[in-house]
Amino acid sequence: MKLRLLLSLLSLLPCVALAQAWPQQQPITIMMGFPAGSGVDVVARMLEEPMEKSLGAKLTMDYRVGAGGNVASDAVAKAKPDGYTLLLGTAATHGVNAALYKKLPFDVEADFTPISPLVNVSNVLTVNPQVIDANTLKEFIDKVKANPGKYNYASTGNGTGTHLAFAEFVSKAGLDMVHVPYKGGPEALTSVVSGTTCCIFNQVQTVIPQYKAGRVRLLGVTTRTRVSAVPEVPTIAEAGVPGYESYTWFALFGPKGLDVEIVNKVNAAVKAALENPATRDKLVALGNTPRWETPKQFRATVKSDRAKWAAVVKQVGATID
């Protein structure tokens, strides 16, 4: 009888250890390397409430903007693996940056615990018609080719996904354009709306209000298929640059050494949030494609995307000034 009781108590130790490591009364901080109002932030806010219900814990957003997301990534890489500090990373922070920066203070694979992707995100060629009066991608390409070096394009920063996606587009279309980097998505889009820059590859969800207001035109989405939020906009591949495709993903990571029980609990909360019809509909309406993977599957995704983006960086010759 005593032996049976002892074995029962021992079987509870992992649960006790988890409760001690992650008591729910303390908020979980989600660090983001991009500013409030950016596409990453919009997605985080949509998932915040359903994930809080699943986790039984409050989520707080901490914006550590800078260096293409590296500031936030570095903070999480050095955080205690107790589940209280997570990173909302992107294909840029964990794919592009490893190839773009000669030296990082962390390893994008070894120093993080992949939890799950959240969404795939399409960019869209967004132009100010007052700067370049083009109604189609073909018209845009023809005007730019007729005026080499005249038109500039904005990005959310040197080496970010928007920069590399546009640089690859410029290379494939044979264009001569000037890159103007900004500190984040809101500033970059404002530069296009105001006419300071000609155009940008911007996330569909962040440009829809300006598009509906008639301030910008959308000439092509960067994904292989059209986006349901703007079905009238063709893909860049079908509209004039065959074979072109680019998209990014947003995802949750923890520091290395994060307890597998915590990883699985957060992963399950992501899955539940993405399967919630109301949340899913909101994400899709803004041009996102909900995406969930197991931690093992997502680790493989990070590894393969790191190699893919390294090839793009090399192809376009992108550098950090």
Chain position carrying tokens 């992107």? 90
- Percentage of the chain modeled with pLDDT above 90: 70
| Mean pLDDT in residue range 90-109 | 89
Give the model's pLDDT for residue 256.
Answer: 97
* Residue 5 confidence class, pLDDT cut points 50, 70, 90: very low
Same fold: 2-120+248-316 with 122-239: yes
Is the model's pLDDT at 15 over the cut of 70? no
Is the model's pLDDT at 259 over the cut of 70? yes
Which tens digit of pLDDT belongs to each residue from 71-85?
Answer: 999 999 999 999 999
**Architecture category of domain 2-120+248-316 in CATH:** 3-Layer(aba) Sandwich (3.40)
- For 232, the 3-state DSSP assignment is coil
* Averaged pLDDT of the chain: 89
Question: Given phi > 0 = left and psi -120 to 50 = alpha, else beta, which region is 240?
Answer: left
Question: Domain segments of the chain: what residues?
Answer: 2-120+248-316, 122-239
Is the model's pLDDT at 142 over the cut of 60? yes
Q: How many helices (H) and strands (E) does the chain have?
A: 14, 10
CB-based burial, 102-125: b 16+ in 10 Å, e otherwise? eebebebeebbbbbbbbbbbbbbb
Q: How many angstroms separate the CA atoms of 25 and 200, rounded? A: 43
**Architecture category of domain 122-239 in CATH:** 3-Layer(aba) Sandwich (3.40)
Mean pLDDT check: name the lowest of 39-43, 46-50, 59-63, 270-274: 39-43
Which tens digit of pLDDT belongs to each residue from 154-210?
Answer: 998 877 788 889 999 999 999 999 999 998 788 999 999 999 999 999 889 889 999
CB 104 within 8 A of CB 48: no
Give the model's pLDDT for residue 321.
Answer: 53
pTM of model > 0.85? no
- Helix (H), strand (E) at residue 319: none
